[in-house]
Structure 1
Amino acid sequence: MKFDNPEDIVQLTAQWEGERFPNGRPKVADDVLRRMRKITLEEAWGPLWNRGYAFQFEGDFKIVHPEKIMVGRAVTAVLVPKRPDLHETLLKYGHEQEGRKGFFNQWVIDSLVEDDVAVVDMFDKVHLGTYVGGNLSTAISTRTKRGGAVIWGGIRDNQQVAEIDNINVYYRGSDPTAIADVTMVGMNVPARIGRAICLPGDVVLGTPSGVIFIPPQLAEITVVQAEKAQVRDIFGFVRLKEGVYSTAQIDAAWNSALMQDFVDWFNADSAAENYRHLTWERELEEAAKLDDGENGRRHDVRL
């Protein structure tokens, strides 16, 4: 077996058709990551759930900076309890065949680049399962700039880690012991994090509620749907305050008249300025179909 094998990564992420890192990991655009930082967990969860991605969220974590949002591209690792023959074989292979230095956790941290998040299945081990401490968290900070780590296991040096402001770390527990008696059996492979599954290149969205892993091919769709919901809400609040529409009209599917009112407002009002990269052709077409359906029902009633 090989660690961080490009052929395997491309095979696992075959639905991604965009740019990739040299190791084959999907590289979701920086602009999508920037916009992802402004959406809520529920806004990201909805498009995934509706497409059958029911196991992308896990919320049972402790969080170093619970007030901060974390967004980045996943670099995954899977570890298992130590079995001496497997442990010695894989550690030797990494050192001698792939030129890696140090222990398994250092291999992963040394591979991180800007906007990465290390996503680690440590089989919920905390005692002798502290994947990062002060030194490796500092390395994560230096390499990722705005990223962090999601660890289904432990960390140490919490007081030092908490002083690192530009990253976040989600973890299961803390312990003063160092990492020991574990073997990495996969790097940039599917990783199980509690109830969720993460693939290399997934967009990781960490919030006060927990973490959601967004497949790269759905990242931009997720952001667009979230942004459209946000700006429609802004418009709805404005019109409700003005008494133009009832809550029933705002909460229901919008007909052509209401949708056109929204588009006119969207193109002119400063409150929509940050959303003007969005387009509304599909929504206008759906509103027209709704009008046709309503006219048909009224015609049936007259008959």
Structure 2
Amino acid sequence: MKFDHAEDIIQWTPLWQGERFPNGRPKVPEGVLRRLGKITLEEAWGPLWSRGYHYQFEGDFKIIHPDKVMVGRAVTAVMVPKRPDLHETLLNYGHEQEGRRGFFNQWVIDSLEEDDVVVVDMFDKIYQGTYVGGNLSTAISTRTKRGGAVIWGGIRDNQQVMEIENINVYFRGSDPTAIADVTMVGMNVPTRIGRAVCLPGDVVLGTPSGVIFIPAHLAELTAIHAEKSQVRDVFGFIRLKDKTYTTAQIDSTWSVSMWQDFLRWFERDERAEPYRHLTWEEELESARRSESDGPSVDVRL
């Protein structure tokens, strides 16, 4: 076997058509990451759920900075309880064949790039399952600038970690013991976090409610759907306040005249300026078909 194997990562993520890191991990553009950092959990969840991605969210975490949003590209790892023969084989292989240093968790953190998030299945181990403490969290901060970690297991040195402002850490529990009696069996492989599945390169969106893993090939689409929902809400609130439309009209499939009203507002109102990269031809055409052929499904999701 090989840790962090490019050929495997490319095979696991065939739907991603953009740039990749040298190890094959999808490299969702920074601009898309910044856009996803401005959306809510539910706005990210909707487009994924409607496309059959039903196991992308996990909310049963403690959070170092519960008032902050975390977004970045996943670097994954899978740990298992220590079995001596397997442990020595894999540790020696990493040291001797791949030139890695230190323990398994250090290998992962030493590989991080800017905007990365460590995503680790520690099989919910907390006692002697503390994947990071103050030192490694500082290393994550230095390497990722804005990233963090999602750990289905433990951490230590919480008071030190809380002082690191530019990253966030989602974890299951805390313990003063150091990491021990665990073996890494995969690095940048498909990883289970509670009831969610994460692939290397997924966009990790950490919110006060929990973490959602957005497949790389759906990242920009998710941002677009969320932004469209946001700006439609801004317009809807305005028109409800001035009593132009009823709540039933705003919450149902819009008519052609409503879309034309929205587009005039969208082109002129300063509140729509941050969303002017969006296009609406599909929605307007759908409304025209609806009025010609009968009702159609709302295209927001």
Same fold (TM over 0.5): yes
Aligned to 2:268: 268
1:292 Cα deviation from its structure 2 partner: 1.0
Distance 1:293 1:91 in 2: 64
Aligned to 1:46: 46
Amino acid at match of 1:179: I
Amino acid at match of 2:284: L
Distance 2:234 2:13 in 1: 36
- 1:188-225 deviations in Å (ceiling 9; x for gaps): 00000000000000000000000000000000000000
- 1:239-283 deviations in Å (ceiling 9; x for gaps): 111111111111110011000100110000000000000000000
Aligned to 2:152: 152
Q: Structure 2: which 5+ runs fail to align?
A: 296-301
Amino acid at match of 2:128: L
Distance 1:102 1:192 in 2: 25
Question: Which has the higher Rg, Structure 1 or Structure 2?
Answer: 1
Q: Does 1:133 align with 2:98?
A: no
Aligned to 2:298: none
1:106 Cα deviation from its structure 2 partner: 0.1
Runs of 4+ in 1 over 2 A off after TM superposition: none
Distance 1:173 1:218 in 2: 31
Q: How does 1:12-27 map to 2 (within 5 A)?
A: 12-27=12-27
Distance 2:164 2:27 in 1: 25
Q: Structure 1: which 5+ runs fail to align?
A: 296-303
Aligned to 1:201: 201
Amino acid at match of 2:11: Q
1:294 Cα deviation from its structure 2 partner: 5.2
Distance 2:232 2:62 in 1: 34
Distance 1:63 1:125 in 2: 17
Distance 2:7 2:186 in 1: 14
Distance 1:242 1:69 in 2: 34
Considering only aligned residues, what root-mean-square deviation do their CA atoms show, in Å?
A: 0.8
- 1:130-149 deviations in Å (ceiling 9; x for gaps): 00000000000000000000
Amino acid at match of 2:206: G
Aligned to 1:109: 109
Aligned residues with identical type, % of pairs: 77
User: 1:172 aligns to what SS in structure 2?
Assistant: strand
Aligned to 2:167: 167
Amino acid at match of 1:100: R
Q: How does 1:183-194 map to 2 (within 5 A)?
A: 183-194=183-194
Aligned to 1:143: 143
